[in-house]
Amino acid sequence: MERLKIQWREPLEELIERINQNFGSFFRQMNCVGEICLDPG
């Protein structure tokens, strides 16, 4: 199970980082702040 988690975790974190960067850029255009992150639970 741990091996499976490692396989999808890193690509998911990379995707969320890209989403967060775009989200942050969009919010800055509106003079706001926003962040997307993964809660590992």
What's the average pLDDT block by block, 10 residues per block, for the chain (41 residues)?
Answer: 87 96 96 92 76
What pLDDT score does 40 carry? 81
The reply to whether 5 falls in a domain is yes
CA 18 to chain CA centroid, Å, is 6
The reply to whether 4 falls in a domain is yes
The reply to whether 35 falls in a domain is no
The reply to whether 40 falls in a domain is no
AA letter at 11: P
* DSSP structure string for 1-41: -HHHHHHHHHHHHHHHHHHHHHHHHHHHHTT----------
What pLDDT score does 37 carry? 93
Whether pTM > 0.85 for this model: the answer is no
The reply to whether 39 falls in a domain is no
How many distinct structural domains can be found in the chain?
A: 1
d(CA 32, CA 29): 7
Q: Which domain holds residue 13?
A: 1-30
What pLDDT score does 2 carry? 85
